[in-house]
Structure 1
């Protein structure tokens, strides 16, 4: 058996609220919408990963999601323009990433990062 995909599911009654953060600010595409579930994604090939952590590194809270982007500074600017609260960073971390934390519309802590 081979794991082909891991999907994060966020429980909410406000599914439409995902659009401003995940589609408009992050640039993901709406791949599926059945009314009761909306799935955003990218055609980019991604590796399957799941992490377990006692903290987020640099004595930060463990984020609910980590999203790697190609330009973290552009992502930061888009989040700020969209009015999403930045909770940490931007920071150049000793393990080789530049990142920031932001809250999505569902109060999930999202780690937006790029490898240096």
Structure 2
């Protein structure tokens, strides 16, 4: 057996909040919409990964989700323009990533990162 895909699912009564955060701010496209369940993604080829940690590094909380972007400064500007509070960073970490933390509208801690 081979794992082909891993999807994160979040329960919400307000799907428009997902559209605002993951669609408009992060620029993910809506891949599926059943009316009661939406999936966002991109055409990028990604590795199947699941991570576990005792901390998030540099003494931070373990994030619920990590999203790698190709331009961290643009991502940061989009979150700031949308008045989404930055909870950590932006900071260049000793293991070779630059990152910041935000919370999505559902309370999930999201690590936005770019490899340096």
Task: Please give the TM-score of this superposition, normalised by the length of structure 2.
Answer: 0.98
SS in 1 for 2:2: coil
Question: 1:109: which partner in 2?
Answer: 109
Question: 1:54: which partner in 2?
Answer: 54
SS in 1 for 2:101: strand
Aligned residue pairs: how many? 116
String of CA shifts for 1:27-59, please: whole Å, max 9, x gaps: 000001111111000011011100011111000
1:15 Cα deviation from its structure 2 partner: 1.5
Question: 2:98: which partner in 1?
Answer: 98
Structure 1 unpaired stretches of 5+: none
Q: What does residue range 1-116 of structure 1 map to in structure 2 within 5 Å?
A: 1-116=1-116
Structure 2 unpaired stretches of 5+: none
Could you tell me how far apart the structure 2 residues matched to 1:39 and 1:68 are?
A: 18
1:14 Cα deviation from its structure 2 partner: 1.2
- Extract structure 1 runs of 4+ deviating beyond 2 A: none
1:105 Cα deviation from its structure 2 partner: 0.8
